[in-house]
Structure 1
């Protein structure tokens, strides 16, 4: 896709990128909470997603847990599952990562850091986390994101 880098950095922070980093063997990880918003007659859905990448930034594995609609979410169970996923990364070092855009499908929903389709020539290239689009990356591809 024109204007989309082969790999791009994500800067570790205390917000959406607080659980990113590397494992001692060089693999990279990103633990996050994607969601399908509740719109109209759709209740939406909440998820926990753990993405594992090779040292070059290519997706190796995606472990996605469906939590159901936000309105009926068991917050204690969701927090425990998230902490379990985090604990499974026993040698995690929280730091910046560099990964390739990717897409995977779980229960018919697209997940990943997916290049946005450009509607016209004035639309700037972007990579958005899906579902939920709560992180978007743009040129100069410096690791910073917009919410």
Structure 2
């Protein structure tokens, strides 16, 4: 699944100096807490790890700085999910339950980015 860099929810996606891929974002519980989430992937787009903490603007900026030299650009990564703070985080695949539904991959918690086929489009719905 592709995510194109933009000036909105995908402002901080791209590649690290070693070729790995990253997605730094701020998922949220609707009507509740916000978080800083850094998702790391290898150069093939396989999920490596997630660093998730309660939202703090300073922490967000430190996570970005700690990545070192980065290039903000398109990433191509696999869906994944992890549990933290009694929440499911990640790019979560939602399999259709009937033949007239489609596959979705949503950024969770908060369902703030929704991806559908074609997976290489790089765009999402909000």
Are positions 1:14 and 2:14 aligned together?
no
Among candidates 85, 107, 124, match of residue 129 of structure 1? 107
Equivalent position of 1:5 in the other structure: none
Structure 2 length-normalised TM: 0.94
Post-superposition shift, 1:122?
1.0
Tell me if the contact between 2:17 and 2:68 (Cα under 8 Å) persists in the aligned partners. Answer: no
Deviations 1:49-105 (A, max 9, x none): 0001001111111000124xxxxxxxxxx2211111111111111110000010111
Q: Pick from 14, 34, 42: which aligns with 1:46?
A: 34
RMSD: 1.0
1:36 and 2:36 correspond? no
SS of residue in 1 equivalent to 2:52: strand
Contact 2:95–2:102 (8 Å) recurs in 1: no
Q: Which moved more, 1:111-120 or 1:86-95?
A: 111-120
Runs of 4+ deviating beyond 4 Å: none
Q: Deviations over 1:84-131 (max 9, x none)?
A: 111111111111000001011112211010111323221111110110
Among candidates 54, 59, 70, match of residue 66 of structure 1: 54
Structure (1 or 2) with the larger CA radius of gyration: 1
Which segments of 5 or more consecutive residues in structure 1 lack a partner in the other structure? 1-7, 39-43, 68-77
Residue from 111, 122, 125 that aligns with 1:143: 122
1:30-67 CA distance string (max 9 Å, x none): 000000112xxxxx211000001001111111000124
Structure-2 separation of matches of 1:45 and 1:30: 20
> For this pair of structures, how many residues does the alignment match?
125
In the aligned structure 1, how far is the partner of 2:12 from the partner of 2:77?
Answer: 14
